[in-house]
């Protein structure tokens, strides 16, 4: 099998991987998928992800749709989709590099370009997943307030799961609801966002910083920047922000809204991994700054 054949026959990818018809080398690729480096007969190398049991037939198609949608002129580089079927996805192989300030500033500028690309609605026209959890991507008009959409589509489902699983206490649930009631978010149009932009989903390549593993949808641009601070934060985050501000300055008070934008990913973790992540939710929900309204 060579690259041209695989491009022409993408629906055979999962079968060929399952039956070991492609040379593979296991690589690190996160906690959700089996990640492998593929070596084709013509010497081409690809990155592939698969699941032993695929929860939904459109799981990998959703990732492919997000990668295509986020690839805007002048935006951050994303791996090209080579082949996708219901069981696997094969992507362009990216050689890893080292974090650097210049690369971070360039990425910040490119992320700002992405966030300025046309995006009429919150949500997306394809199914949403974060990890293997579903996301409600039902498109919602940009005339709807972002906070109303965020509460309904990104907070309430995972807050409910976390409560029902015993991962959060009643006080934790109340704190999350109060944080949403307090925040004074400026009105902005929907932006194309990565949607799961924790530091592990930035790939520092030899030629710059790449976006990988998106949960792409129309959302609030501050969400991508806020989640880059989770789990210890990405290297050179101050330089990313500086580059971003050159192209698409953030609204006043963005730093005081960071916690609210982190709540979604924090709640996904308590919903799926349990109370070990409860402190992440509590920190995100804590009141900070002068830009919160009184209840």
Tell me the pLDDT tens digit for each residue of 7-16: 998 887 888 7
Output the pLDDT for position 126: 94
End-to-end CA distance of the chain: 62
pTM: 0.93
Alpha-carbon distance of 78 to 93, in angstroms, equals 11
DSSP string, 86-149: SSEEEEE---B----HHHHHHHHHHHHHHHTS---EEB-SS-EEETTEEE----EETTS-HHHH
**Hey, is 245 helix, strand or coil?**
helix
Output the pLDDT for position 53: 74
User: Domain residues of the chain, as ranges?
Assistant: 3-92, 101-285
CB 52 within 8 A of CB 93: no
Q: Which CATH class, in words, describes the domain spanning 101-285?
A: alpha beta
CB 104 within 8 A of CB 209: yes
Give, for 191, the enclosing helix (H) or strand (E): strand 191-193
Output the pLDDT for position 292: 40
Tell me the pLDDT tens digit for each residue of 59-110: 999 999 999 999 999 999 999 999 999 889 999 999 999 999 999 999 999 9
CB 284 within 8 A of CB 267: no
Comparison of pLDDT for 156 and 1, the residue scoring more = 156
Q: Which CATH class, in words, describes the domain spanning 3-92?
A: alpha beta
Structure tokens at 53: 């049991």
CB 70 within 8 A of CB 214: yes
Tell me the pLDDT tens digit for each residue of 11-52: 878 887 876 678 888 887 666 788 999 999 899 999 999 887
């Amino acid at each position: 099998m060579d690259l041209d054949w695989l491009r022409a026959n993408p629906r055979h990818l999962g079968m060929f991987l399952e039956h070991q018809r492609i040379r593979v080398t296991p690589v690190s690729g996160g906690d959700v998928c089996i990640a492998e480096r593929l070596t084709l007969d013509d010497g081409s190398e690809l990155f592939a992800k698969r699941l032993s049991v695929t929860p939904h037939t459109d799981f990998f198609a959703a990732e492919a749709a997000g990668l295509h949608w986020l690839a805007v002129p002048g935006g951050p580089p994303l791996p090209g989709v080579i082949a996708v079927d219901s069981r696997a996805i094969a992507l362009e192989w990216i050689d890893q590099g080292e974090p650097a300030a210049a690369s971070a500033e360039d990425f910040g500028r490119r992320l700002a370009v992405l966030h300025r690309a046309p995006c009429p609605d919150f949500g997306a026209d394809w199914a949403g997943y974060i990890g293997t959890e579903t996301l409600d991507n039902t498109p919602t008009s940009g005339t709807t307030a972002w906070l109303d959409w965020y509460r309904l589509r990104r907070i309430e489902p995972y807050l409910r799961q976390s409560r029902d699983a015993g991962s959060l206490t009643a006080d934790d649930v109340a704190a999350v609801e109060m944080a949403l009631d307090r925040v004074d978010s400026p009105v902005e149009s929907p932006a194309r966002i990565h949607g799961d932009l924790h530091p592990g989903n930035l790939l520092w390549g030899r030629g710059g910083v790449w976006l990988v593993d998106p949960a792409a949808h129309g959302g609030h641009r501050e969400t991508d920047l806020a989640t880059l601070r989770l789990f210890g934060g990405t290297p050179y985050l101050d330089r990313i922000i500086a580059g971003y501000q050159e192209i698409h300055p953030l609204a006043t008070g963005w730093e005081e809204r960071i916690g609210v934008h982190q709540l979604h990913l924090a709640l996904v973790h308590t919903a799926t991994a349990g109370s070990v992540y409860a402190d992440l939710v509590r920190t995100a929900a804590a009141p900070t700054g002068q830009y919160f309204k009184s209840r």
